[in-house]
Amino acid sequence: MSTEQNNEPIIKTGVQNVAIGARDRPDETVLEATNLDVYYGDERAIDDVSIEIPETKVTAMIGPSGCGKSTFLRSINRMNDQIDAARIDGDLYFQGKNVYDEDVDPVALRRKIGMVFQKPNPFPKSIHDNVAYGLRVQGKDDDVNLDEAVERALRAAALWDEVKDKLDSSGLDLSGGQQQRLCIARAIAPDPEVLLMDEPASALDPIATSKIEDLIADLAEEYTVVIVTHNMQQAARISDKTAVFLTGGELVEFDDTTTIFENPDDNRVEDYITGKFG
Amino acid sequence: MARNDYRRQLAELRESVLEMSELVCQRLRKALEALETKDDDLAERIIAGDHEINRLYLDLEGQCIDLFALQQPVAGDLRFIAASFKISTDLERIGDLAVNLAEYSQRAERDRYTEIDIGYIGTQTVEMVEEAMQAYADDDPETTRDIAALDDEIDALCEGASEVVVRDLLELEATTGVTGDEALIEDVSRMLLTIRDLERVGDHAVNIAARTLYMVENDDELIY
Amino acid sequence: MSTDTDDAPFAESEETPFTDIDLGWEHRKNRIFLGIIFAASMFGVVMLALLLLDVVTDFYRGQTEFGISLIDFFTRDGSRRQELAGFRGAIVASVMLMIFTAILAFFVGVGSAIYLEEYAPDNRVTRLIEANLANLAGVPSIVYGLLALAAFVNGIGLGPILLAGAIALALLVMPIIIVSTQEALRAVPDSMRNGSYATGATKWQTIRGVVLPAAMPGIMTGTILALARAIGETAPLIMVGALFTNRIAWGPFDRFSAMPTQIYNWAAEPEPHFIHLAATGIAVLLAFLFAMNGIAIYLRNKYERDL
């Protein structure tokens, strides 16, 4: 190595760039929080978080229980509005527009930002109607061929081959892993810009989990995926960017996933990911 | 198929290791050619090209570390990545040895030791490396054991060659009493170093074989 | 499976690792308690069985000793003359009562339940309304009869017509429908509502598209059980004046007598023939009740898996 003259880091990250070809374009920020606080009553769940989430990448949020990562996720599509005691301070921009401006209708916001939850929550309807639900409520069922749109979403969610012969049976008859993929299909059918995922695999067995993880990698070709996970190995496996929240709702470090897991800046992050804390 | 990205990354790692080994073996053959033909230009190009190999090596190391850090490999995958990690180090060393050989060829003035067939020993060692890498590429445990046996031959050849050099030196002293000749010292040390480096290439080939055997059969018999 | 004790390595030993633990008394307490609670649960079953036995015996004696023809019973209306008296008018009136009660109580009841459960803010007014509803469910049924008598029969001068009876019964069962609908709505997991909101649905789209379909089996079950209670109610109907036992009601504005009032009337007669007509009527009424409960149980079992 004596001939190595340039100033490149000794350990260069090769895999991430090689593996995901579609991600080479420069980062375009799609979501941006500046000095965001979220309170539940008097308790501060998110403490002065500023973050820029890039387009069509997988951004993972990790941290110990109660660190506010899910709260942050729910503040992006204003699902916190459902909780009376929740209060927001600071700004959160989606494509340059503050989503907490008075003229923003949270229903419209959620039509741009889909969400998948921790526990699979299919509706007690047929598989077809579950996927078509978003298109119907958003009034898009007239513009598109509904059956085609349902098939497209189910294919994108890697579920089509398993359910194509039983689209009329109840979504609740599927296995847990299939239900979660059904919920992903439901979320992406109306073609949102961003897909929020709140621990989407934590209720699933390892096989189903790895299917969801593969699916997330595929989805990131087209969508911006923001995923909360309590499983930091999962974040390591699937994300391009990782945000580490620690107790008190503080965003401690946000960087490329390789940097976070190989050479984090902050000692608390090092302690957390190596298991010395949390 | 589960964990598609990960599988792709593993395949890419194997690809990169093989690519690096091809380059290294090519350099080694060129270095032997430079020794044979005393082609200073060729030797210069080999020396200058070493940073390419070093770049590949760092890249490979990065790939392995990313896989360790991000994918939590276990069992066969873990052995594969660990073996690749170690093998890339051996390959990098072989690359350095090729540079050494090229440097010796530049300094060579005369043909003193016509009875030592450096070309033959060199070709044998390159082939050992190539075979070891083929075993790595094919997950072939049998060949790895053959390579370990081959190395004994190389060691014997190298020992024989060193003896020739030493005996020649003693003879020279006894007959002419000349020992302080700069050119002679240069020639002797060049030849001894060449022999030593080729022997080391063989050792690295055995290391590669040993890691491959460990990778394929979880057998550490060749690792020492 | 063979239990080869000869081969068991520790079979000969008197000492086991557990000889120091004596659970005899604990297990006896367990069995005694089990006996008591089993007897308690059997009490209800035995009482129901005795009741059914009594009804069936009277029904049987009516058929045999008093020659009550079931065909006549179902095809004739009430009459002063015991050999001409039948149950048709009462059945028709009861069925109509149920239909009108259901229409009146269902929409108002489900509507207020949706408001209370999905829309109403969690404040003192809402809690007051809910407390009142719980109290209403406990009000004696005759009070609803008095209310209907005062407000509708005499107040706005409807007279003792079937609609007035339906209103009284609807008022009676509405709290039950509201409470059971609230239960059914509460049983729809929030995760489902969130799933809908996150898909970009409005509140009403969520309620109509997800919550109500999911809660409907529970709502239907509660409604049917409430109606099953209404069909047996006698006191409010008597208050409304549903004692026109000898003619058939053709519509909501006709005077009427329902099954329970007809039975009440017959049971008050001195002749044993009427008593046994009443017993036969009770058998029919019970059959209606069991059928309705059966439907409710069927619905619950069919759909409860889904939630």
Closest chain A residue to the Cα of B4, Cα to Cα: A214
Closest chain A residue to the Cα of C191, Cα to Cα: A121
Note the pLDDT tens digit of each residue in C134-168: 888 888 988 988 988 888 888 887 888 888 899 99
**Partner-chain contact B9 A237, CB within 8 Å:** no
Chain A contact set for C306 (CB, 8 A): 124, 170, 172
Query: A255 and A242 in contact (C-beta within 8 Å)?
Result: yes
Note the pLDDT tens digit of each residue in C239-259: 888 777 677 777 888 888 888
Closest-CA distance, A28 to chain B, in angstroms, reads 23
Chain A contact set for C196 (CB, 8 A): 123, 133, 137
**Partner-chain contact B66 A258, CB within 8 Å:** yes
What's the number of domains chain A is made of?
1
- Give the Cα separation of A81 and A54 in Å (integer): 25
Closest chain C residue to the Cα of A122, Cα to Cα: C192
Closest-CA distance, C123 to chain A, in angstroms, reads 12
Determine which of A133, A135, A170, A198 to mutate to test the interface with C (most C C-beta atoms within 10 Å): A133
What string of DSSP letters covers chain A?
-TT--S---SS---HHHHH-GGG-SPP-EEEEEEEEEEEETTEEEEEEEEEEEETTSEEEEE-STTSSHHHHHHHHTTGGGGSTTEEEEEEEEETTEETTSTT--HHHHHHHEEEE-SS----SSBHHHHHHHHHHHTT-TTTS-HHHHHHHHHHHTT-HHHHTT-TTSBGGGS-HHHHHHHHHHHHHTT--SEEEEESTTTTS-HHHHHHHHHHHHHHTTTSEEEEE-S-HHHHHHH-SEEEEEETTTEEEEEEEHHHHHHS-SSHHHHHHHTTS--
For residues B81-114, b (16+ Cβ closer than 10 Å) or e, as one string?
bbbbbbbbbbbbbbbbbbbbbbbbbbebeeebbe
Considering CB atoms only, which of A82, A134, A170 is closest to C199?
Answer: A134
Closest-CA distance, B8 to chain A, in angstroms, reads 7
Residue appearing with tokens 């063979």: C2
Using alpha carbons only, give the angle B113, B115, B120 rounded to the nearest 5 degrees.
105
Pairing relationship of beta strands A97-98 and A86-94 according to DSSP bridges: antiparallel
- Whether residue A225 is contained in a domain is answered as yes
Other CB atoms within a 10 A radius of the CB of residue C57 amount to: 11
How much is the average pLDDT of A257-278?
A: 88
Query: A183 and A122 in contact (C-beta within 8 Å)?
Result: yes
**Partner-chain contact B71 A236, CB within 8 Å:** yes
Query: C83 and C68 in contact (C-beta within 8 Å)?
Result: no
Chains A, C: CB pairs < 8 Å: 73
- Give the Cα separation of A213 and A220 in Å (integer): 11
How much is the average pLDDT of C189-203?
A: 93
- Give the Cα separation of B5 and C64 in Å (integer): 83
- Whether residue A38 is contained in a domain is answered as yes
Query: C214 and A123 in contact (C-beta within 8 Å)?
Result: yes
Chain C contact set for A77 (CB, 8 A): 198
How much is the average pLDDT of A178-206?
A: 91
Q: Has residue C78 got a pLDDT over 80?
A: no
Structure-token pair, residue A187: 């979320």
CATH number at residue A113: 3.40.50.300
How much is the average pLDDT of B178-204?
A: 86
pLDDT the model gives residue B66: 93
Q: Has residue C9 got a pLDDT over 80?
A: no
- Give the Cα separation of A224 and A221 in Å (integer): 8
Chain C contact set for A228 (CB, 8 A): none
Average pLDDT, chain A: 86
A-facing residues of C in 32-71 (CB < 8 A) are none
- Give the Cα separation of C52 and C44 in Å (integer): 12
Closest chain C residue to the Cα of A190, Cα to Cα: C199
Other CB atoms within a 10 A radius of the CB of residue A105 amount to: 11
Determine which of C119, C196, C199 to mutate to test the interface with A (most A C-beta atoms within 10 Å): C199
What string of DSSP letters covers C168-231?
HHHHHHHHHHHHHHHHHHHHS-HHHHHHHHHTT--HHHHIIIIIHHHHHHHHHHHHHHHHHHHH
Closest-CA distance, A72 to chain C, in angstroms, reads 15
Q: Has residue A12 got a pLDDT over 60?
A: no
Q: Give chain B's domains with CATH numbers.
A: 4-217 (1.20.58.220)
pLDDT the model gives residue C255: 81
pLDDT the model gives residue A67: 87
Closest chain C residue to the Cα of A180, Cα to Cα: C195
Adjacency order of strands within the sheet including A58-62: A97-98, A86-94, A29-40, A43-54, A250-256, A241-246, A58-62, A224-228, A194-198, A113-116
- Whether residue A2 is contained in a domain is answered as no
Closest chain C residue to the Cα of A120, Cα to Cα: C191
Instruction: Determine contact: C199 vs chain A, CB below 8 A.
Output: yes
Domain ranges of chain C: 74-304
Instruction: Determine contact: C289 vs chain A, CB below 8 A.
Output: no
- Percent of chain C residues topping a pLDDT of 90: 38
Closest chain A residue to the Cα of C210, Cα to Cα: A123
Query: C66 and C272 in contact (C-beta within 8 Å)?
Result: yes
Closest chain C residue to the Cα of A191, Cα to Cα: C199
Using alpha carbons only, give the angle C247, C249, C251 rounded to the nearest 5 degrees.
160
Query: C210 and A121 in contact (C-beta within 8 Å)?
Result: no
pLDDT the model gives residue A4: 40
Q: Has residue C73 got a pLDDT over 90?
A: no
- Whether residue A5 is contained in a domain is answered as no
Chain A residues with CB within 8 Å of chain B CB: 1, 3-5, 8, 10-16, 18-20, 207, 210-211, 213-214, 217, 233, 236-238, 257-258, 261-262
Instruction: Determine contact: B70 vs chain A, CB below 8 A.
Output: yes
Q: Has residue A11 got a pLDDT over 60?
A: no
pLDDT the model gives residue C13: 62
Chain A contact set for C201 (CB, 8 A): 107, 133-134, 137
Chain C contact set for A126 (CB, 8 A): none
Residues counted in chain A? 278
Phi, psi of A51 (to 5 degrees): -160, 145
pLDDT the model gives residue C12: 58
A-facing residues of C in 117-156 (CB < 8 A) are 122
pLDDT the model gives residue C72: 81
Bridge partners of residue B190, in order along the sequence: none
Considering CB atoms only, which of C198, C305, C306 is closest to A115?
Answer: C198
Query: A78 and A38 in contact (C-beta within 8 Å)?
Result: no
Lowest mean pLDDT among A32-36, A189-193, B183-187: B183-187
Phi, psi of A116 (to 5 degrees): -125, 140
Fold of C74-304: MetI-like fold (1.10.3720)
Closest chain B residue to the Cα of A235, Cα to Cα: B70
- C17 versus A258: the higher-pLDDT residue is A258
Chain A contact set for B55 (CB, 8 A): 4
For residue B35, give Cα distances in angstroms to B32, B38, B40, B183: 5, 5, 9, 17
* Closest by CA position to A206, among listed B218, B72, B78: B72
Q: Work out the widest C-alpha separation in chain C, in whole angstroms.
A: 93
Chain A contact set for C213 (CB, 8 A): 123-125
- Give the Cα separation of C255 and C96 in Å (integer): 12
- Give the Cα separation of C127 and C182 in Å (integer): 13
Q: Has residue A73 got a pLDDT over 60?
A: yes
| ipTM given for this complex | 0.85
Considering CB atoms only, which of A84, A133, A172 is closest to C306?
Answer: A172
A-facing residues of B in 4-33 (CB < 8 A) are 4-6, 8-9, 12-13, 16
Number of H helices, E strands in chain C: 12, 0
**Partner-chain contact B70 A5, CB within 8 Å:** no
Residue appearing with tokens 């302080």: B180
- Whether residue A191 is contained in a domain is answered as yes
Chain B contact set for A11 (CB, 8 A): 58, 61-62, 65
- Whether residue A278 is contained in a domain is answered as no
Residue appearing with tokens 């129901």: C48
Note the pLDDT tens digit of each residue in B73-98: 999 999 999 999 999 999 999 999 99
**Partner-chain contact B54 A15, CB within 8 Å:** no
Determine which of B1, B3, B4, B5 to mutate to test the interface with A (most A C-beta atoms within 10 Å): B5
Closest-CA distance, C192 to chain A, in angstroms, reads 6
Q: Has residue A20 got a pLDDT over 60?
A: no
Considering CB atoms only, which of B63, B69, B92 is closest to A236?
Answer: B69
- Whether residue A64 is contained in a domain is answered as yes
Asked if chain C contacts chain A via 3 or more Cβ pairs within 8 Å, the reply is yes
Other CB atoms within a 10 A radius of the CB of residue A70 amount to: 22
Query: C115 and C133 in contact (C-beta within 8 Å)?
Result: no
Would the CA dihedral through C155, C159, C160, C162 be positive or negative? negative
- Whether residue A6 is contained in a domain is answered as no
Chain A contact set for C198 (CB, 8 A): 77, 79, 110, 114-115, 117, 187, 196
Q: Work out the widest C-alpha separation in chain B, in whole angstroms.
A: 75
pLDDT the model gives residue A26: 58
Chain A contact set for C189 (CB, 8 A): 121
